């Protein structure tokens, strides 16, 4: 069963020039990229995307950060995509992220932790549909 998951390479990682390295790690781990774009989130988008956290003390800082510069959003396909990407990304707090994970390598802080990865199939669908229309998703079989 091939599943989908959704990722955001966050503003710190894009600004640090790490987009290519992170995409390399994702592709080397066996994910197929079926949607990809560079975009800037506005405050409405960021507040909606992180609505589940709106009552948390870090929400304002998180929205400020996510709107501070361009992000790269991606739709990925793989067996066990959600769980496997979460493992590759590592713990939310980079100090607790396993060596070799994306957050261990590229995060600057708990907030500026380099990358988002969906935490369930249902949330993945909700999240990618905020950034990709059906027409933008590459469903043709291609190698890459
Ligand atoms: N975050 C934060 N402070 C915290 C916890 C989370 O700034 O104490 C930010 C961080 O960027 C994280 C995002 O909020 O990635 C969403 O938090 P969540 O707990 O969902 O972590 P994730 O699923 O991204 O690992
Ligand atoms: Mg989360």
Is pTM beyond 0.95? Reply is yes
State if residue 12 touches ligand 1 by the CB under 6 angstroms criterion.
Answer: no
Query: Which SS3 state, helix, strand or coil, does residue 119 take?
Result: coil
CB–CB of 124/4 below 8 Å? yes
Nearest listed ligand to the Cα of residue 101: 1
What pLDDT does residue 24 have?
Answer: 98
Q: For the segment 26-75, what is each residue's pLDDT rounded down to a tens digit?
A: 999 999 999 999 999 999 999 999 999 999 999 999 999 999 999 999 99
Cβ(113) – ligand 1 distance below 6 Å: yes
Instruction: Work out the number of other CB atoms within 10 angstroms of the CB of residue 115.
Output: 26
In the prediction, which pLDDT does 100 show?
Answer: 98
Structure confidence at residue 8 (pLDDT): 99
- With residue 115 as reference, give the H or E element that holds it: strand 115-117
Which residue, among 64, 49, 42, has the nearest Cα to 112 in the 3D structure? 64
């Amino acid at each position: 069963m091939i599943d989908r998951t959704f990722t955001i390479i966050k503003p710190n990682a894009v600004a640090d020039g790490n987009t290519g390295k992170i995409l390399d790690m994702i592709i080397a781990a066996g994910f197929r990229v079926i949607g990809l774009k560079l975009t800037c989130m506005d405050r409405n988008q960021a507040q909606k995307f992180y609505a589940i956290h709106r009552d948390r003390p870090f929400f304002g800082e998180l929205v400020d950060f996510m709107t501070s510069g361009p992000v790269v959003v991606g739709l990925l396909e793989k067996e066990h995509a959600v769980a496997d990407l979460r493992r590759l990304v590592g713990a939310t707090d980079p100090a607790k992220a396993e060596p070799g994970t994306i957050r261990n390598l590229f995060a600057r802080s708990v907030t500026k932790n380099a990358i988002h990865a969906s935490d369930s199939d249902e949330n993945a669908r909700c999240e990618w549909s905020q950034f990709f229309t059906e027409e933008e998703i590459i469903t043709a079989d291609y190698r890459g």
